[in-house]
Amino acid sequence: MTSVKKSRATLIGVILAFALPVIGAKFVLDQSWYQGAATNKGTMLMPPIKLSDELQSRLPEGWRVALVADNECGAACVQGLYAMNQLDVALGKESDRVKPIVFSRTPLDFDLEQTPLVLPIISDEFPAAFADIPPHRLFIIDPLGNAMLHYATFSEEEAMRAEAKNLLSDLRTLLKLSRIG
């Protein structure tokens, strides 16, 4: 083999060494063989629900964990309210950045004295704004008024405790990464 042919073969080999992985990656992505990993444990709302400025101004500052309740959700709501109330203890020094809220159209029959940290907001506008979220779910609202993740509530204490740990994990991640609120 002449030196010209060796040089060309080397050049083609170098080009292929860099081009084949890029072509292979493009092919894998185009065929949808790769599914990106998700680190959140809640269900992501795509797109997030954005509150109007008027509704946003009626909420406390900072991050909010909320529940839309009615008088028919029973034990699941009670467990959800209890989990929200425990966030204060679980978050430690970050607890002043998060406010638990329950939205309802009418005053609730539940005994909210058992969950003194949960702020009840009685209004028709908030339940209507969150109509896209399945009923009786806990959800996170960021300081800019975007509801982004939601979590199921359970009437069984053990199942609710596991879901509350998922909410706490996601909330800690959001608080750690957030530069607002």
Q: Which domain holds residue 6?
A: 1-36
- Residue 4 makes CB contacts below 8 A (sequence gap 6+) with none
99-130 burial: b if 16+ Cβ within 10 Å, else e = bbbbbbbeebebebeebebbbeeeeeebbebb
Q: What is the pLDDT of residues 26-79, one digit of tens each?
A: 988 888 888 776 688 999 998 999 999 999 999 999 999 999 988 777 888 889
Same domain flag for 78 and 99: yes
Look up residue 39 and give its amino acid.
T
| Burial grade of 181 (CB within 10 A; 0-12, 13-18, 19 or more) | middle
Task: Give the single-character DSSP code of 2.
Answer: -
The DSSP line for 15-54 is HHHHHHHHHHHHHHHHTT--------SSEEEEEEEEPPHH
Q: Which of 76, 47, 67 lies closest to 148, judged by CA? A: 47
- Residue 94 makes CB contacts below 8 A (sequence gap 6+) with 172, 175
Task: Give the single-character DSSP code of 59.
Answer: S
For the chain, the domain total comes to 2
Q: What is the pLDDT of residues 77-95, one digit of tens each?
A: 889 999 999 988 899 999 9
Same domain flag for 80 and 158: yes
Same domain flag for 19 and 55: no
Same domain flag for 68 and 5: no
Same domain flag for 31 and 118: no
User: How, if at all, do strands 137-141 and 146-152 pair?
Assistant: antiparallel
Band the pLDDT of 164: cuts 50, 70, 90. very high
Q: What three-state secondary structure class fits 93?
A: helix
Same domain flag for 85 and 149: yes
Q: Which of 106, 107, 101, 84 lies closest to 164, judged by CA? A: 84
Same domain flag for 48 and 30: no
* Predicted TM-score (pTM) of this structure: 0.77
Same domain flag for 152 and 81: yes
Q: What is the pLDDT of residues 12-29, one digit of tens each?
A: 999 999 999 999 889 888
Question: What does the chain come to in residues?
Answer: 181
Same domain flag for 63 and 29: no
Same domain flag for 10 and 27: yes
In CATH, what number is assigned to the domain containing residue 93?
3.40.30.10
